[in-house]
Amino acid sequence: LFVDGIDYRPESVPYREYVECIKGLGEAIWQLNTEFFNTIRDSRGRVKIVLLVRPDVFHALNLYNSNSRLQDNTVYLEWSTNDKEYRRSNLFEVSGRYFSMQNGNETTPAVAWDHYYQDGDNDAATFKRLLRLTFQKPRDILTFIRLTREESIRAGHGDADKFPANVLNQAAFTRKFSEYLLGETKNYAAFYMTQVDFQNYLKFFQYLDGRSRFTFEEFSQAYAQFLKWSEGENFTAKEFLRDAEALLQFFYDVNIIGYTESLADERESYYHWSYRERTLVDIAPKVKASATLVVNPGVAKALDI
């Protein structure tokens, strides 16, 4: 029995009350699974209740002995990959499978993807760019496919059997896709705050003066200006206004801001995003303020950056 949908908090229910509510639900599920269903011996198999929950929401519940519960009783869905290994990843397979399953033959997911998004000798450049733009979830890729299909039809190419190679450079498309990704961050943040609060927090980026890369000192200067503006607004979720570190951590948690570090030879940089750093061992990764901070390129256009 799968219990889903608890990541969405109705705005009419205060955050603390809702956390206590689903905390009780989590404890009840644990007790039923371990103390009740486990004792039933007169039937084939047994019932198990599975709680479908985001890692950050589970972390907020602060359940007793949560670490061992995670390690021993969790199926953790991890989709992220990188430029060198993506063709062997589950994310690439499920993306290509969206096409190959509709062909009615034995076409492999990789062949199907390469057919619809032909990049010549550029080694599937479209998918590699998507890895940098998205939060690397299947829904992101499927939304990208839907939007490219809509744009192709709008441009009068509905009878084509492949998509244009330059779709990620089209202004109309990139705006729509960026707005979708920003909408995903808004849905993610809805567990913690109202939509009005989220829109108010996004006002912060006006004080970065269009910068997509900045230091923590520059972030703090923008925070000081934002804090002065916020005094005239009615924020319900004020805990992220506590100081610059709290606001930066919030933007990192929702994957709007990440950070980058150069390797020893400084010829290659490594980008850190919350969705990539999160593991069962470190379920709530912290942002590194001493590094170079960057705005997620996927949402940058929707933020006018």
Beta bridge partners of 294: 213, 258
* Residue 7 neighbours by CB distance under 10 Å: 16
CB 228 within 8 A of CB 241: no
d(CA 197, CA 207): 17
Q: Write down the number of H helices and E strands in the chain.
A: 13, 6
Structure tokens at 150: 């809509």
Cα dihedral 222, 223, 224, 227 sign: positive
Closest CA to 199 of 186, 212, 208, 184: 186
**Predicted TM-score of the model (pTM):** 0.89
Going residue by residue through the chain, which has 305 residues, state the pLDDT in tens, using 9 for 90 and above: 999 999 989 989 999 999 999 999 999 999 999 899 888 887 787 889 999 999 899 988 888 888 888 888 888 888 999 888 999 999 999 999 999 988 777 789 999 998 898 765 555 588 988 999 999 999 999 999 999 999 889 888 889 888 887 778 888 889 999 999 999 999 999 999 999 999 999 999 999 999 999 999 999 999 999 999 999 888 989 999 999 999 999 999 999 999 998 876 666 788 999 999 998 888 889 999 999 999 999 999 999 99
Residue 39 has a pLDDT of 84
Q: What is the pLDDT of residue 119?
A: 67
Pairing of strands 292-295, 2-3: unpaired
Q: Give the Cα-Cα-Cα angle 117, 102, 77 (nearest 5 degrees).
A: 75
Tell me, what's the pLDDT at 120? 57
Residues found in the chain: 305
**Which residue bears the tokens 């990959």?**
81
Vertex 91: Cα angle to 86 and 95 (nearest 5): 110
Which of 152, 78, 87, 136 has the alpha carbon at shortest distance from 113? Answer: 87
What is residue 159's three-state secondary structure? coil
Q: Cβ contacts of residue 173 below 8 Å, gap of 6+?
A: 147, 148, 151, 167
- CB count within 10 Å of CB 142 equals 13
β strands within the chain, DSSP E:
2-3, 50-51, 213-214, 257-262, 269-272, 292-295
**Short-list 64, 60, 62, 66, CA closest to 15:** 60
